[in-house]
Chain A
Amino acid sequence: MITAQDFSLPPRGLPLRVLLSGMAVGVLLLLSQHRSWDELAGLLPSEPALWLRSGVSMIILIMALLFALSTGLAVGMLARRMGSPAVSFTAFLGRAVACCPVVALAWGFIGGWIGHLGWPVETLMPEHLAAAQDHWQATLGSALWGVLAPALVLAVPLCGEVVHAVASDARLTVDLEFSLRARGVPPGVRLYRHHLRQMLPLLRVRMQALCLVAPAYLMVVEDVFHVAGWGGSLAEAIRTGGVNAIAQGFATGGVMIALLCVGCQMLPGRLRRVNGVLPALAWHPWLLWTLGFLALPSADSFAALIVWVVVLIVGSSSWHRTWANLESQLPLDPSRALGASETTIWRTHVAVVQFRTLVAWLCAALAQTLLWMAVACALQPRLISELDPRLAGLFKPLSVQTTREAAQTLADPSALLQAGGIIALAALCLIQVSRIVQPRPR
């Protein structure tokens, strides 16, 4: 996976942890800016309009996640049925799609749909004269398209993630293919009953991981589509540096993510919950919080470093699990039994594997840093000026600051798509290098 290269298990009580941590981070942000207790008390919005905004965002998120889940499963299952090469190819495609910067996807869609085809996107349309003969279908269709358009765009990178997950997590299941075939079980039953039953608990964990990331993507999508939702207002608050609104966004975002995580528990099957510091630390919407904290002026100079550290934190649990799996399969105890010294054991059996794992982690972290910097720069164009000029040139087209720039991008999104394509390609290459370098447990 792009967000978590390898599989990791969530801690116990994930929804509650996310809910509380969202509020805690909001309070922390307000305290860091020396805000009054009254402002702290207003962390959770009391106005129904703000909850209504969150409701709109929740609908978009649920639609996008469900669409990604079902499409990912459908594609993954079809690929599995077609054989191993198809699975590998599909997984690669999934990774490629997941590597696309969401801002480029959103502007690409708008540029094609509105700019090229001249078809409407409800949330972006100017006021129009309602025809006297407008019937309920038109009203319903317009309202539905207002939600579906951003949901479908948001679903694209999530689909990529799920497709990759369905393909790569299959190796974590018990391969019953031979025994089921021997018992004369039809292929469809083997796939959709036996294999899917094993996959669903894994997908539940993957979907929970996606729930932590999707709201950050949603911010960009809502901002580009001008959706009057939680993400759009948080993106605006981040752009303008409105600390109170950002803190409120963290708190309401925590509630939303907690609800989504609870919703994911409706998927059948359950994996063992884990204890420990790393899962407890990693399973939080760190990247969402980071985007918020980058709105503070003091964070400008270290934006890339902060994102990189956060990416390391987010991936720490899965990489630790990967290393634990690898370490358990290394012949350490037999070597000790044969009298090899610890230094010899480390040099002979551990060092190379450890080094390759570290390189893989760094490559994956670098790819994710690149993608998250694209998100951060899209939301806060001022960060670009702090980057290396070559990187700044790459990220510049992604930041559509003014309405005039937006109009130019709509008319000709080629510069933005080019920049998005280069970033996606770079991230995909790094991910592939990471996968090549990383040792696999047998």
Chain B
Amino acid sequence: MILARTLIFGFPLLVAALAWWSAGESRRSHARGKDGIVVMLSQDKPALNPYLPETEAERELLELVHEPLIRIGPDGALVPTLAELWRWTQDVTCWFADEAEAKRALEQLQAQIGETNRWAEWHLTSADVVAASLRLSFSDLSPAGVQGALEVIAERDLQPAVLCRVDSRTPLRSAWDKFVASTTMADQIHRVWFDGTSVCELVVSGKVAPRLMEDLRRHLDKDADGSATVKPLAEVGVLVEPVLDLDIRPGQLWSDGTPVTAGDAKATLEFLRGQDWPIPAHEALRQIQSLESLNNGSRLRVVFRRSYGPALCALADLPVLPGAWLRDHSDGIVAGFSENPPPGAGTHRISAQTGRSLVLTPVHEGGASPRFLFSFSVSPLMTEIGTSTQTVDLVWPASAARHSALRQLRFTPPRQRLVVLWNTRHEILQNVRLREALACATDTEDLIRSLPGRLGRVDASLFAPGLWYSTRAARSPFELASGRGILEEEGWSLDGAGVARRQDRPFELTLLVPGGDELHTKAAQRLVAQWAALGARVKIEIVADASAFAQRLREHRFDAALVDQRFEVSWDQLPWWHSSQAKPGGTNFCGVIDPQVDLLLEALSREFEPAHVPSRVRELEAKLLQLHPMLTLFTTHDEAAAMQTLADGATAAAASATWTLRQLAVPPKRAPAAPVIHLQMRVTE
């Protein structure tokens, strides 16, 4: 009886006690301290390609794992990261008939190191004879020193160098290798530069150049099935090549403990040059002539083909990967990024991953950096449970979380903005005053209020915001009356239907809109409504195919186009506004042709010194923005919901400020003070 009674009453009590205890333990195990941050993402697990992040979350995740040589710091300046120092120099190579002649030229130059030391005046640091050539290294990029040195040796028998271009419809590499192995004039080929697989450029010196080109043509006719062309581009007396030297910071380690070397950076840049990925650094990487790891891997030497000042920007925020990993995964790099991620030099390493989650652990355990757990493809139910039980710290995007559960919204930095490009050759839009009127009639505040998503205000600048050279150029304020006034001044008056007309010609144009994005469509509809108030009758044409849209832009077959402008660090604006790119097929879509602007663009493109960029940028914008070639609308931001666990006084005070995961990983109090870099060129020892 006692046993029965004990069982009847004891079992429910035992189960209740067990349930109470286990629920308590479960609660305690989920109620973690601040040792980690759980991020829930509705997106699928990303491919983890550090060069092609598909989303802002993936980009920020990868920024924790990988480090670039140079980073854009919180204040928008270039901050040395893996590279401790960098400097620009230039190499000048001249060829002579023979080695003796080259040595005589060298002796002539060495004779200039006298009492006046003209080498210092020219910034000439070294001169070496290599076979029949003389290589001069200058620590300054100005042409004055080069000119002075060359004047001294001008009387010697300088051999001109010929730049040739080989175009083929088939891959050239194997045919080229065979030619080099077979020709007796191989020593006269001084530079070879492959642009992709089927185009290459050569630098050939001496009188044998025409014969070598003819031999090459014949060889390719035979080997490349007659599809290749060889043509001379130019003849130069000397070859001038800018050189970027980067000193790798000592003591930097990959997460597996091996040291970071210049060889790794070289392997990374070589790997990226071989890829056809649409990365911002693509154009600068194309201009690289050669890469060299020097001083036992402590210095990377990058030789460029031409004077391209913004080349430095190509390295900014460009992750460096271990050379050994790149070699081991040469057969399947892209798959390797997700299946066997490369070790990085960042603050965190990928310590575990499954098909739907990924754990980042600080490389230096015991520091202030937290661990991160990223859960992907998270359902709304999981998000709701996470927010209810406070076991999640961030929900990304914020729209995936219930708003009553949100403590704080965090906005990521803008990566792009929406702009309207005007075709300045359009019958109506060629009048700059009318473009100005349309700008006056555009109410961006209304767009930001009425359109979905988190949108930010923009200025009228051509350049990305938040960089050391950003100008914050003021955009035309919304003044419909001013816009109407301009129209009247230009002879356009409103008819009964509210459409502006001039000599019976209505103010009509078509707005080209890329398809597939609701934001674009809705923005276009709002713009049409706003411009209708001015008197402009605007039709929307949606082009669903991205390549067809790009083709329309290149061929200038549009009146106005709504375009996402991705922000880049580079200050080079030449491709977008220079008159040489205004012809069909060029990238000056707006068709701006202005000689003064061209000069300013060229000067900016040749600027190597980051500290000088702001003044040049201001000069350019002062001229170009007067032409109203485009209309900036708003930036787009990702929005994450931060839970109570992440809210603190500092973040609450700056709730609307942009924010990144890196700021969570390296708390500001413990983070090293952002160095103030004046970006002056270092004087060579």
Whether A120 touches B26, Cβ cut-off 8 Å, given contacts A70-B11, A126-B38, A152-B19, is: yes
Given contacts A145-B22, A145-B25, A192-B4, contact A118 B389 (CB under 8 A): yes
The smallest beta-carbon distance between A369 and chain B, in angstroms, is 30
Q: Bound complex: CA of A140 vs CA of B390, how far in Å? A: 22
Q: Which of A5-13, A129-137, A313-321, A385-393 contacts B (4 or more CB under 8 A)?
A: A129-137
8 Å CB contact of A128 from B30, B378, B384 = B30
- A122 near B26: Cβ-Cβ < 8 Å: yes
A184 contacts partner chain B, Cβ-Cβ < 8 Å: no
Question: What is the 8 Å Cβ interface bit string for chain A, positions 386-404, against chain B (1 contact, 0 not)?
Answer: 0000000000000000111
Any B CB within 8 A of the CB of A124? yes
B402 A196 Cβ-Cβ under 8 A: no
Any A CB within 8 A of the CB of B244? no
- Distance, CA A70 to CA B13, complexed state (A): 10
Within 8 A of A (CB), among B1-36: 1, 4-5, 7-12, 15, 18-19, 21-30, 32-33, 35-36
- Tell me, rounded to whole Å, the shortest Cβ–Cβ distance linking B645 to chain A: 12
CA distance A54 to B19 in the complex (A): 22
Which residue on chain A has the smallest CB distance to residue B391? A128
Stretch among A346-354, A405-413, A419-427, A432-440 lining the B interface: A405-413
Within 8 A of B (CB), among A129-153: 129, 131-132, 134, 137-142, 144-145, 148-149, 152
Given contacts A120-B27, A407-B383, A407-B384, contact A148 B35 (CB under 8 A): no
Give the distance in Å from the alpha carbon of A142 to the alpha carbon of B357 in the complex.
20
Residues of B within 8 Å of A192, CB to CB, are 1, 4-5, 8
Is A38 an interface residue, CB under 8 A from the partner? no
B35-A138 in contact (CB<8A): no
Q: Once bound together, how far apart are the Cα atoms of A145 and B19, in whole Å?
A: 6
Is B371 an interface position by the 8 A CB rule?
Answer: yes
Q: Is A381 an interface residue (CB 8 A)?
A: no
Collect the chain B residues with CB atoms within 8 Å of residue A181's CB.
none
User: Interface 1/0s, chain A 55-67, versus B by CB < 8 A?
Assistant: 0000000010011
Contact between A138 and B29, CB atoms less than 8 A apart: yes
Known: A74-B8, A125-B391. A140 touches B382 (CB 8 A): no
Give the nearest-CB partner of B21 in chain A. Answer: A141
Determine if B388 and A128 form an interchain contact, defined as CB atoms under 8 angstroms apart. no
Enumerate chain B residues within 8 angstroms of A125, measured Cβ to Cβ. Answer: 30, 385, 389, 391
Q: Which residue among A63, A119, A132 has the maximum number of chain B CB atoms within 10 Å of its CB?
A: A119
User: Is A67 in contact with B11, judged by CB distance below 8 angstroms?
Assistant: yes
User: Is the CB–CB distance between B379 and A141 below 8 Å?
Assistant: no
Closest Cβ neighbor of B4 among chain A residues: A192
Q: Does A201 contact B (CB under 8 A)?
A: no
CB pair A411–B25 under 8 Å, yes or no, is: no
Contact across chains for A126 and B22 when beta carbons are under 8 A apart: no
Contact B1 A193 (CB under 8 A): yes
B373 neighbours in A (Cβ, 8 Å): 127-129
Is the CB of A198 closer than 8 A to any CB of chain B?
no
- The reply on A42 being an interface residue by CB < 8 A is no
The chain A residue with its CB closest to the CB of B3 is A192
Tell which of A124, A189, A407 touches B380, judged by Cβ atoms closer than 8 Å: A407
C-alpha gap A407/B386 in the complex (Å): 11
CA distance A188 to B23 in the complex (A): 35
A134 touches B29 (CB 8 A): yes
Q: Mark A101-127, 1 if CB is under 8 A from B, else 0.
A: 000000000000011001110101111
Q: Is B359 an interface residue (CB 8 A)?
A: yes
Contacts A127-B373, A407-B381, A410-B381 given; indicate if A77 touches B8 (C-beta within 8 A): yes
Given that A63-B15, A128-B373, A407-B402 are contacting pairs, would A118 and B22 also be in contact in the complex, using a CB cutoff of 8 Å?
A: no
Asked if A71 is at the interface of the complex by the 8 Å CB criterion, the answer is yes
A70 CB → nearest B CB, Å: 4
Is the C-beta of A251 less than 8 angstroms from some C-beta in chain B?
A: no
Interface pair A126/B380, CB less than 8 Å apart: no
Number of interface residues of A (CB under 8 A): 46
Task: Give bound CA distance, A189 to B390, whole Å.
Answer: 51
* Nearest-CB residue, chain B, relative to A159: B12
The answer to whether A126 touches B382, judged by C-beta atoms less than 8 angstroms apart, is yes
- B-side contacts of A189, CB under 8 Å: 1
B163, CB-defined interface residue at 8 Å: no
Chain A residue, CB-CB nearest to B370 = A129
Of the residues A119, A140, A152, A406, contact of B27 by C-beta under 8 Å: A119
> In the complex, which residues of chain A have a beta carbon less than 8 angstroms from the beta carbon of B25?
137-138, 140-142, 144-145
**Complex: how many Å from CA A208 to CA B431?**
90
Contact A127 B357 (CB under 8 A): yes
Q: Is the CB of A73 closer than 8 A to any CB of chain B?
A: yes
Question: Do the beta carbons of A126 and B15 come within 8 Å of each other?
Answer: no
CA distance A122 to B389 in the complex (A): 11
User: B375 near A: Cβ within 8 Å?
Assistant: yes
B382: min CB distance to chain A, Å: 5
A142 to B29 alpha-carbon distance, docked (Å) = 8
Contact A70 B12 (CB under 8 A): yes
Chain B hits for A114, CB < 8 A: 385, 388-389
B360-402 contacts to A, CB under 8 A, are: 371, 373, 375, 378-386, 388-392, 402
With A127-B375, A188-B1 already in contact, the answer to whether A403 and B19 are too (CB < 8 A) is no
Check A138/B28 contact, CB under 8 A, given A129-B38, A145-B22. yes
Is A410 within 8 A of B1, CB to CB? no
Residues on A with C-beta less than 8 A from B320 are none
Q: Is B40 an interface residue (CB 8 A)?
A: yes
Measured between C-beta atoms, what is the minimum distance from A34 to chain B in Å?
Answer: 35
Residues on A with C-beta less than 8 A from B12 are 67, 70-71, 74
- 1/0 per residue, CB under 8 A from B, across A317-350: the answer is 0000000000000000000000000000000000
Given contacts A74-B9, A126-B392, A132 and B385 within 8 Å (CB-CB): no
Closest-by-CB residue of B relative to A124 is B385
Residues A128 and B1 in contact, CB atoms below 8 Å apart:
no
Least distance between A128 CB and chain B CB atoms (Å): 6
Q: In the complex, are the beta carbons of B11 and A66 less than 8 A apart?
A: yes
What chain B residues lie within 8 Å of A77 (beta carbons)?
8
CB contacts (< 8 Å) of B356 on chain A: these are 127
- For A145, the chain B residues whose CB sits under 8 A away are 19, 22-23, 25-26
Contacts of B32 in A (CB 8 A): 128-129, 131
Taking CB atoms, residues of chain A closer than 8 Å to B38 are: 126-129
Contact pick for B385, options A70, A73, A410, CB 8 Å: A410
With A126-B375, A129-B35, A142-B25: A120-B381 Cβ-Cβ less than 8 Å: no
Distance in angstroms between the alpha carbons of A193 and B21 in the assembled complex: 33
The listed residue (B21, B379, B390, B404) touching A118 by CB distance below 8 A is B390
Name the interface residues of A174-207: CB closer than 8 Å to any CB of B: 188-189, 192-193, 196
Report Cα–Cα, A70/B6, bound state, in Å. Answer: 10
- Whole-angstrom distance from the CB of B404 to the nearest CB of chain A? 8
CB-CB nearest in chain B for A130:
B29
Q: Which residue of B lies closest to A147 (CB)?
A: B22
A-B contact pairs, 29 of them (CB 8 A): A67-B15, A70-B9, A70-B11, A74-B9, A74-B12, A77-B8, A118-B390, A122-B26, A125-B30, A125-B385, A125-B389, A125-B391, A131-B29, A138-B26, A140-B25, A141-B23, A144-B18, A144-B21, A145-B23, A148-B15, A148-B23, A152-B19, A189-B1, A192-B4, A196-B4, A406-B379, A406-B384, A407-B380, A407-B384
Shortest beta-carbon contacts, A-B, top 8: A141-B25, A403-B379, A129-B36, A407-B384, A144-B22, A145-B22, A407-B380, A70-B11
Q: A67-B12, A126-B385, A145-B23 are in contact. List 9 more A-B contacts (CB 8 A).
A: A70-B11, A74-B8, A118-B389, A119-B27, A120-B389, A141-B29, A142-B26, A403-B381, A407-B381
